[in-house]
Amino acid sequence: MSSEYLSDEPLDEEGNVTAAAPAGADGPGALKPRPGVYLLPNLLTTGTLFAGFYAIVAAIDGNYSRAGIAVFVAMLFDGLDGRVARWTHTQSTFGKEYDSLSDMVAFGLAPAIVVYQWGVARIAEFGALWGRLGWLAAFFYAVTAALRLARFNARASSSDKRYFEGLPSPSAAATVAGFVWLASDYELAGLPGLVLAFLVTIVIGALMVSRFSYWSGKEINIRGRIPWAYALVIPLIYMVISLSPPETLFSLFGFYASSAPLYWLWRKVRRGRAHPAGSAP
């Protein structure tokens, strides 16, 4: 998800921070651009881009487990860059745009290519039609990721920070890449596995551009204090993930992806029971 690198400092047309020049230089209070970009947040954003690119290369080479791991590494960098920028007061328009472009590679193109490459070896034996369906499903995911990022950037200033409109692209990428990682480890083969991969890709893509509200978790204060007993949950999470990373990660992000539609359905059913047909509202 595109981080908000917005700064209160004045920026020039290229997004560089500007500083007030002494009076008389080019007029009173003239602003002069301070060249360059902030190192630390953009270094982390480059890590997101690198991990996404590596996932594509690994998938082309047939290393689907590494490709899946690379997408999760990209998520880690993406989760850090915006927070580091805010903590160090190094936000900039350049950083915001760079982050969004990196997200498109890591969470838009990379998962689409990973799932397509995983299916390439299995498509040929089922005919050309499945090949067309395969790349169309992959393209559908890529274009929905682009639309999701564009909508987020356009509405970032006015949206409710507690919720995301539509499935966030990093979570969508984790679900698709986690499925491929899991399918690769279990050597899932045959037409049913291929159809399931395409269905997961299409459904996750549709959820990205949906209007379902997903909990963002931004109201959690990670620098605040928590009860001592809650601290035990952190190592437990690491232990569960380490026991079987592909199964655990795919289950976690698959549950998150399905949580909003399931909650919407639950509310519909509950509302229907509260107001049966023919009764007054």
Residue 57, pLDDT score? 96
In this structure, of 90-104, 186-200, 256-270, the range with the lowest mean pLDDT score is 186-200
- Report yes or no on whether pTM surpasses 0.85: no
Domains in the chain, CATH or no CATH each: 35-218+244-259 (1.20.120.1760)
Pairing mode of beta strands 31-33, 18-20: antiparallel
Give residue 276's pLDDT band: very low, low, confident or very high (50, 70, 90): low
Residue 84, pLDDT score? 85
| Pairwise CA distance, residues 64 & 52, whole Å | 13
Whose CA is closest to 176, among 190, 196, 191? Answer: 196
List residues bridging with 39 in a β-sheet.
Answer: none
* 63 sits in which H/E element: none
pLDDT averaged over every residue in the chain = 81
- The residue that leads in pLDDT, 8 or 192, is 192
Highest mean pLDDT among 22-26, 78-82, 140-144, 158-162: 140-144
Highest mean pLDDT among 61-70, 160-169, 225-234: 61-70
Mean pLDDT across the stretch 106-128? 83
Mean pLDDT across the stretch 10-26? 45
Residue 60, pLDDT score? 92
